[in-house]
Amino acid sequence: MSDQPFRSGFVAIVGRPNVGKSTLLNQILGQKVSIVSDKPQTTRTQVRGVRTTDATQIVFLDTPGVHKPRTLLGERANERALATLNEVDVVCFVIEANAKAGPGDQFVAARLAEIATPVVCAVNKTDVADRAEIAAQLIAASTDLGDFAAYVPVSARTGDGVDALIGELEVRLPEGPHYYPAHVVTDQPETFIAAELVREQLLAHARDELPHAIAVTTDEVDERTTSSGEPLLALRVIVRVERESQKGIVIGKGGAVLKAAGTAARRELEVLLGTKVHLETHVKVDPDWQRRANALDRLGL
């Protein structure tokens, strides 16, 4: 039995779009709880991930990438990301090792300068940067972006440096309780995970003009059994687009795009949930949903 007190708390992962926040969270947890795409602003809501050891429990919030919004959806994503900063115990600010800090990084850093919450700066993507670039970014982060509590070079893709980053976060946690049972890795329901996995696959399969025009929700869930008596989770997923022309792109020729995305999402969901899954996908046109407050409210965004 350890004499050290149990430490626990909440950590917000913040940064501009596409710096690898979701990949970093998945690497820390050892499994996927947040969808990943090479397209900016993939994360639209806070995704909770939980890492528990004998000595600590960290509840991570993977926030949307802070960016210059073009729609009401973008404005709300920014508000959610920035609202967490005063409510957590530590902030993990993610920047890139292979690119100079730009206006987006500086915008986030300016918001971080306004809070009392300790900030650990994770300089990500060291696997695609050389030593000189990494060193330059570490210096630049400390001189140009802010006086943060710690600076840690990491690769979210390979895991290099992630243990050191976790250590820097853990030492700044207060003494506290178990907020979640030790076996819990995310508090997201299977309906949310299913919708996000379908959206991730559509981002990978559909054309570049679509990402911000797609909203995916799970409308129905039913627990059944297969003919052989195995448990089966049946989910009805609705993909919403803004225009009729986008509907054809999402479905694809002969239904190929939607079928491929649904099949890939179903297989991944079966692994994550440990049960057979039947996934039914439908596409609806919801004109200008990302610019209409009532549509965003209905979609939980």
Positive or negative: CA dihedral 151, 156, 159, 162: positive
- Mean per-residue pLDDT for 157-181? 94
What confidence tens digit (pLDDT) does each residue in 11-29 have? 999 888 788 888 898 899 8
Structural domains of the chain, ranges and CATH numbers in brackets: 7-170 (3.40.50.300), 190-298 (3.30.300.20)
CA 249 centroid distance within chain: 25
pTM greater than the 0.75 cutoff? no
Cα 168 to Cα 50, 119, 121: the distances in Å are 17, 10, 10
CA 238 centroid distance within chain: 21
Please check the confidence at residue 272 and state whether its pLDDT lies above 80: no
Average pLDDT, the chain: 81
Q: Give 178's contacts (C-beta < 8 A, 6+ positions apart).
A: 6, 8, 52, 57
- Mean per-residue pLDDT for 23-43? 68
Q: How far apart are CA 99 and CA 76, in angstroms?
A: 27
Q: Give 159's contacts (C-beta < 8 A, 6+ positions apart).
A: 27
Confidence grade of residue 236 (pLDDT, cut at 50, 70, 90): confident
